[in-house]
Each structure stands twice: as structure tokens, then as C-alpha cells.
Structure 1
Amino acid sequence: MAVEYSRLSSPVGPPACEKDAKALQFIEEMTKNTDVVQQKVLAEILTRNSETEYLRRFLLSGLTNQDTFKSKVPVVTYKDLQPDIQRIANGDRSPIFSSHPISEFLTSSGTSAGEKKLMPTIQDELDRRQLLYSFLMPVMNLYVPGLDKGTCLYFLFVKAETKSDHFKTRPYDHYMVYTSPDEAILCPDSFQSM
């Protein structure tokens, strides 16, 4: 199936390859009707998580109505959620924020308020993040001619407290072939890794 290149061309040229064209077409489709897409995503999140402890606190058990969600659930800060996040970090597996099990914690850089924040994450979110990263090179290839033909140098290491199987089980991507073996990238001593 051929992808229409003319709409996807940047000021410097068309996509570098068919895989890039498909990725750019996906971006195009997902950004056409952002209101509809965002409403759909919120409806899915509310439906999937309607029985979580967090929503029940606002008397919203079984909630799937977006307007009710907007009017009843307040905007909060990390500090407001921290006790529940700590419960999860301490091993509580009840559906506090999500009906799906927490697969791991991501950590913030610690640049706000001087300390790292734990962010509970589910497997679906990690998959979405990986999909998002897969769009970087197709977009960059539009604006940097020949980038897909060259070699990039990445200094990549993973902090011991943030290791997960998600990196180890990542699918093959020719844009992300690392010269360092996984053992060096996942080394618990970042000095040795670098």
C-alpha cells in the first residue's frame, strides 16, 4: 500500500523511506481532529478506571461522563497525590489510580522542588512512550537531509533505581541500534557505564 507523500513533504523534501512515511501519516491522522481524539482518550481512561479508589473519593464510582469528571475532580499537585503514590511504592496493589497494575515507577529529574518524584506507570503507558519515541527520527529526517544515512552517538545509561524490563525487551528499530551492549547501558555504576 503506497502512502501519499505529497501532503507529508517538508520544505526540504519527502520522507526518507516507506517506514518514515507511515509514521508521518499516523501523526497526521492523530492530529487532524485533536478534540475528538482527546475526548475519546479521556472517555477510555474514565471507563477503564471508573472503580478506582481515587475517583470513588469524589463519589464518582462508575463515572464515565467527562463533564462530571471535570466538575468534580479538582486539579491537584504532586504533593496532594504523594501519600497514595507512596502507598503504591510500598507495595499496595489495590486499584488506587488505575485499574491496571502499576508496572514500574518513572522518576522525574528532580529539577522542581529539588527532589525526584515517583510517577506510577502502567505497561500501556510505556508502550505509548515507546511509540512516541519512534516518531522522532521520521520527523528529524524531514529537516536534516541524509540523517537516516549517517551515524549518531548516544551516551545512554540507566540509573539503577529506574531499571525495567521495558528497555531489555524493546523491539528492534534500525534507528536505535546501540554500539554499547545492554550490560554497559544497564550497568548499576553510572561512572563505569559512561
Structure 2
Amino acid sequence: MKIAVLGAGHVGPVVARLALAAGHRVTIAGSGDPARIAMIVDFLAPGAVPLPAADAVADADLVVLAIPWHRFPALEPGMFEGKVVVDAMNHWPPAEAPLGTSEDVAARLVGAHVVKALNHIAYQDMEPAGGRAAGVAGPADAVAVVAEFLRSLGFDPVPVGPLTAGRHLEPGSPLFGVAAGRPEFENLTKLAKERS
């Protein structure tokens, strides 16, 4: 697959490394000129190609959003139309926030197929994936694509429901920050759903 990773901070390079090791073609974009992140990419994700975000997304089969939440509004929504987009971002909204973060992402990226995944695992726990459970929430067709991608990275994808269930993967949930195998993850998923 052609993978575009938006974000060159902590999570983005880890995802890029895992994707490269799995044989995917990977482009990576930061905020601004790709030359600014070229050295970082060479060091942290050798083999990934730094590009402007629009160019990275244009040719991608799957896009991973791994940017700081406050930078998300600066992205041009139209470039994601028709794309499968993994929302790996985190936000700490007020408890009474009406939507989960991925629901906000989907509302802004009209025409994209948004899936919540990879946000609940700390970047330092991502590699090696080692069969670790990775929660996935979103529309079934897009979840299937993302699950295949996660499996190729070495994760065990666990669907938790539609995009609204992405809230169970966010800060404050029993699943957030958990590095676990499937049985423990499924038990915590039940607990998260009981609490909501």
C-alpha cells in the first residue's frame, strides 16, 4: 500500500518505520517545507519520502493523521476526499463535549472514510507491535482496510464499533494507554462500553 503519514513528531515516524518494515511505500509530511523534516525522516524513518501534505495525500491508499490536534484545522479538507484516513490524534476535550474527536474529524473531512486507530497506544509501546491489540472504530469497509494495514504492521486489530465508539479509545477511557493482548483488550472494551 501507499501510506501517507501526516506528522513527524513522536507517533508519525514510528508508524512510518513499521509501515516501511512491512513493505509499504511511505511518504511523510510535517507542517511546512519538507526540507525542514528531511534530516529527521532520514534518521527516524529511513526510506520514507518527505513531501508536502497535499502531495503525500494525493497518491496515498491510506492516510495516517498523527499531528497535534491544534494543527488539524489548518489542513485542507478537500484533499482527503475518497481517502481512508486513520485518526491517530488525541485531544482532551471537556467531559461534556458532544462528539468524540474522530467524529469531529469526519465532520470536517467530508467525503473521507475516517477510522479511529493507533491513538490509544503510546508511541514507545508501538514497536515492535508483537501482536498487541489495536482498537479500530469506524465504518465497516474502511475498518477492513485499516485492519489489514494494522495486521501488516504486527498488530492484532480489534473492532470496537462505529466511529462513535472511537470515544472508547480516547483519553479517559479504560482502553487509553493500554498495551495489551486481545483478551485483556476485549475485556476493557466491555468495561468502557458499560461506563458510557
Judge same fold: TM > 0.5, yes or no.
no
Q: Tell me which interval the TM-score lies in, with the shorter structure as reference length.
A: under 0.3
Structure with the largest fraction of strand = 2
Q: Highest relative contact order (Cα 8 Å, sep 6+), 1 or 2?
A: 1
TM normalised by structure 2 equals 0.28
Larger Rg, first or second structure (1 or 2): 1
TM-score normalised over the length of structure 1: 0.28
